[in-house]
Amino acid sequence: MANVTVIGAQWGDEGKGKIVDWLASRADAVVRFQGGHNAGHTLVIDGKTYKLSLLPSGIVSGTLSVIGNGVVLDPWALRDEVAKVEGQGVTITDENLAIADNCPLILPLHRDLDGLRETAAGKGKIGTTGRGIGPAYEDKVGRRAIRVCDLAHLDTLEPQLDRLCAHHDALRAGFGQPPVDRAALLEELREIAPFVLKFAQPVWKRLKKVRRAGAKILFEGAQGVLLDVDHGTYPFVTSSNTVSGTAASGSGLGPNSTGFVLGIVKAYTTRVGSGPFPTELEDEIGQRLGERGHEFGTVTGRKRRVGWFDAVLVRQSCAISGVTGIALTKIDVLDGLEKVQICTGYRLRGKVYDYLPSHAADQAECEPIYEEMPGWHESTAGARSYADLPANAIKYIQRIQELIECPVALVSTSPERDDTILMRDPFVD
């Protein structure tokens, strides 16, 4: 099995960046297939930290990095990110970065609409990153999007701008805002077009060639299954499908290309923004886990909510996304706790559930049912073999495997690339 698809199996922020980077050093191509620059992947290599949002994690190691058609692309954010990473010594050219020419663009008007909606929503706000991701996906589905390939045909863009502005001008008027400045938008697009177009190509064709050569492709997901627009805690979700099946449609390769599905799972649970969180801890333990785990968003800097490991949700994510094995991250954050707890079910109005109900009101009322286990005082930080782990940490990992009905393939014991325990090799298993 040559290819690997990496997805988050919780609410995002599971540590995908480090795992993807670790795998990318052995891959021939890394592909982003959904989301936008609301993603945040942090890589630590030889003590040097790289923070990526749009760029696939393979770019740091020089691996062919592809932004697929399932991504919504903010070209100005991309240019800023490329400049930042190049400033850290990474070389980025059209040889190691490819952008799907049918990729939809995030425009300034999308960012405007995102902010206006969140401000007006008050207590009903979703908790978006405000980067225009949702409105850009809406225009894609509404067949109003301006895509990367359109940047090469700006002189004939007027009919598309008519459709786009007819929609956005009406929305802006409802918020008391002036209509879109079409001339200014066109000027901004003309200015950014040369930068984007040098990377633009039919990436499905390039990936097909890579695959036929027998090379290894790594599909890099963003966010997490619990933020999937269909399967997540709706409406507190992202605007794209985050499950593994999206790797096929978001890259232009077929469903038989996704290979080993690796679900990234934190040894506890976090989420950013609004929405249900059955195992959330608002006590000293929650504060401790948040501080030790440096739980602040890579993109937004927002403090993450923290809770115990929820086996119900991870089991559900693994089933929905066809996870072959999980990578368990941040086990070292639990070091030193007297007891650790795992959520094994929910109690809702006198009934026990082994899954999270779909309705937001039911989700908000779910009370976690916990199983308590002894903690460990020994350090797991930096362990590189299973034998280096404390006995109680091993028992914790084994119990997680049983409860989520999915094997552990990797265990990450620090942000450093090499502090990883390999139990099953996704590229050969």
Q: Can you tell me the distance from the alpha carbon of 197 to that of 1, in angstroms, rounded to the nearest whole number?
A: 34
Does the active-site annotation cover 294? no
* Spatial contact of 319 and 353, defined as CB atoms under 8 Å apart: no
Closest CA to 262 of 397, 427, 418: 427
| Burial of 99: CB neighbours in 10 Å, binned 0-12, 13-18, 19+ | buried
Q: Can you tell me the distance from the alpha carbon of 168 to that of 250, in angstroms, rounded to the nearest whole number?
A: 26
Does the active-site annotation cover 354? no
| Burial of 339: CB neighbours in 10 Å, binned 0-12, 13-18, 19+ | exposed
- Which residue, chain included where needed, has tokens 């020994």? 378
Which residues share a beta bridge with 422? 410
Closest CA to 66 of 40, 34, 91: 34
Catalytic-role residue among 28, 37, 41, 110: 41
Catalytic-role residue among 13, 114, 310, 332: 13
How many CB atoms lie under 10 A from the CB of residue 299? 17
* Spatial contact of 196 and 148, defined as CB atoms under 8 Å apart: yes
Task: Output the 3-class SS for 140-151.
Answer: HHCCCCCEHHHH
Sign of the CA dihedral with 283 first, then 346, 360, and 106 last: positive
Catalytic residue numbers read 13, 41
